[in-house]
Amino acid sequence: MPAQAKIKIGVIGASGYTGADLIRLAACHPHMKIALLAANTHAGKALGDVFPHLGFIGGPALVKAEDADWSACDAVFCGLPHGTAQDIVATLPESVKVIDMSADFRLRDTGTYAKWYGREHAASHLLKNAVYGLTEFYGEAIAKARLVACPGCYPTAALLALLPLVHAKLVDPADIVIDAKSGVSGAGRSLKQNILFSETGEGLSPYSIASHRHAPEIEQEISAAAGEQVLVNFTPHLVPMSRGELVTAYVRLAAGHQPADLSAALEARYKAAHFVKLAPKGTLPSTQFVRGSNYCMIGVYADRIPGRAIVVSAIDNLVKGSAGQAIQNFNLMYGFPESAGLEQLPLFP
């Protein structure tokens, strides 16, 4: 492919928050051309009419997904809700690479999917070739994939912090407690009572206690790393901010190990990683330090309880937790530098 050629991309679900952030990042990507935008509820509208902040880039008008000519695209990003992405992805031409930001291709077991998402998987024939898109751990497979299933935002923050520790057998995988907090954009853009300003502002609330759909995704990956079936204690919370995610994981150290060993393992695992960084000494990971960027900041701290440690991970839920990671995977799939189009530094304050 000539150096000046650009990959023609399409975005399904272009009127959602993840779709909007994907477009924002793609507009500045040196190797992308936005060729098609689909959003059924806003079909016929100009992009700037749906998102005025994106009106500066022009771009194609929005169309219905079923009316789109996907053969005009080289790659398609899908930002639809779970349960709807699989139906459209199954109809896309084989020549089109797919980076799915929904939950429809993340779980490898169709029974687990049906249990947690309330419907049978309609495109199970695609699962065998779907690659889990946690870039720092599945990079080689992602580079060869046609279909990449990007992780959820909570699993991204949690797994980046925990997988190296489980792989190295530094912590007990049967004793992991994950306390997670997300900005309201993680709930999507549709109208819901619990995310109205009057209900969310000036408050902090847990939700989906012991029943959040990201739990089996976290367990799937930790179980694979541990070599045994693992259950985790995972509780998400809604924070009155638009974007950002903070995961605090409480772990029991394996016999003979100290919190410093955990830091050393993370440092070694991410030494060459572009977007995962350990918090400098004296700094606590915070959503303010990664906001608007594709970075993940991780820190390890000794617990007051002997034999335990606290691992903290911060990401932007719409970037590293969704659209940014999707573009990171796109870069690998096309052989571009992993950081292409993602060099934005965090916004502060």
Give the range of the structural domain holding residue 86, as residue numbers without chain letter.
7-132
Neighbouring CB atoms inside 10 A of 250's CB total 16
**Rounded Cα–Cα distance for residues 74 and 17 (Å):** 23
Q: State whether 288 and 235 are in the same domain.
A: yes
- Strand 147-149, strand 97-100: pairing: parallel
Q: Which helix (H) or strand (E) holds 200?
A: helix 197-200
By the 10 Å C-beta count (0-12 exposed, 13-18 middle, 19+ buried), 255 is classed as exposed
Shared-domain flag, residues 281 and 212: yes
Residue 18's SS3 state is helix
- Would residue 146 count as lying in a domain? no
Two tokens, residue 343? 């060099």
pLDDT of residue 81: 86
> How many domains is the chain partitioned into structurally?
2
With respect to residue 280, please indicate whether it lies within any of the assigned structural domains: yes
Choice among 57-61, 144-148, 315-319, 336-340 with the minimum mean pLDDT: 57-61
From residue 42, how far is each of 39, 146, 298 by CA, in Å?
A: 6, 28, 39
HSE-up (13 A, CA, CB side) for residue 237:
14
Alpha carbon 115 to its chain centroid, in Å, reads 22
CATH code for the domain of 83: 3.40.50.720
Indicate which residues carry an active-site annotation.
Answer: 153
149 within some domain: no
Cis peptide before 349 (omega within 30 of 0): yes
**Residue 161 and residue 99 share a domain:** no
What's the mean pLDDT when you consider all of the chain?
A: 94
Quick one: tokens of 175?
């004793």
- Residue 4: per-residue pLDDT: 62
pLDDT of residue 192: 74
Structure tokens at 54: 């994106």
Whether residues 161 and 128 share a domain: the answer is no
Residue 89: inside a domain: yes
Q: Is the pLDDT confidence value at 14 over 50?
A: yes
Would residue 339 count as lying in a domain?
A: no
CA angle 293, 45, 37 (to 5 degrees): 50
Tens digits of per-residue pLDDT, 95-117?
999 999 999 999 999 999 999 99
Model confidence over 195-218: pLDDT tens digits?
777 777 888 999 999 999 999 999
Q: Is residue 138 part of a domain?
A: no
Listed in sequence order, the DSSP H helices in 27-93 are 47-50, 85-89
Is 227 domain-assigned?
yes
Name the strand (E) or helix (H) holding 130: strand 130-132
Confidence class for position 332, pLDDT limits 50, 70, 90: very high
Considering the domain architecture, whether residues 73 and 175 belong to the same structural domain is answered as: no
End-to-end CA distance of the chain: 41
pTM of the model: 0.95
Q: Which position has the token pair 């419907």?
A: 119
pLDDT of 2 above 60: no
Whether residue 343 lies inside any domain: the answer is: no
Please indicate, yes or no, whether residues 128 and 167 belong to a single structural domain of this protein: no
